[in-house]
Amino acid sequence: MYGWVGYFHRGKIWGKLRELDAWIRNRLRYCIWKAWKKPNRRMRAFRQLGIEAGIAYSWSRSRMGGWAIAQSPMMRTTVTAERLAKRDYQSFTKYYEQIFHDSRTA
């Protein structure tokens, strides 16, 4: 990530980086969903993330595929960008802002 953003930082890639960030966040949500594996574990995880029991039960037993669940409002409101950042996910756009700001001041 660092090398790629560093190489292209002089170009106008802001929009592409935002799209890439959105896709990667969805992919991370998908991986988290798959890591939970079983419906009971998914329900416990939703409960730990602050979702009430009835809603957590229904979403944990959803028949939607993993990619559809990753893009669902349930996963977007529970596994947010802030929570991913707490788990050391650094977004491309924030890194690009840092590089762009440093190159303008130099």
Q: Which of 46, 45, 25, 34 is nearest to 89 (CA)?
A: 25
Residue 87, domain member (yes or no): yes
Range with the poorest average pLDDT among 4-18, 49-63, 87-101: 4-18
- Give the CA-trace dihedral at 31, 45, 53, 49, to 10 degrees: -100
Residue 13, domain member (yes or no): no
Residue 78, domain member (yes or no): yes
Please say whether the beta carbons of 69 and 97 come within 8 A: no
Which pTM value belongs to this model? 0.76
Residue 106, domain member (yes or no): yes
Please say whether the beta carbons of 77 and 49 come within 8 A: no
Residue 103, domain member (yes or no): yes
pLDDT band for 27, please (50, 70, 90 cuts): very high
**How many independent structural domains does the chain possess?**
1
pLDDT single digits (tens) 42-90: 999 999 999 999 999 999 999 888 899 999 988 988 988 888 888 888 7
- The two tokens of residue 50 are 């602050």
Residue 14, domain member (yes or no): no
68 lies in which domain range?
A: 34-106
Residue 25, domain member (yes or no): no
Residue 58, domain member (yes or no): yes
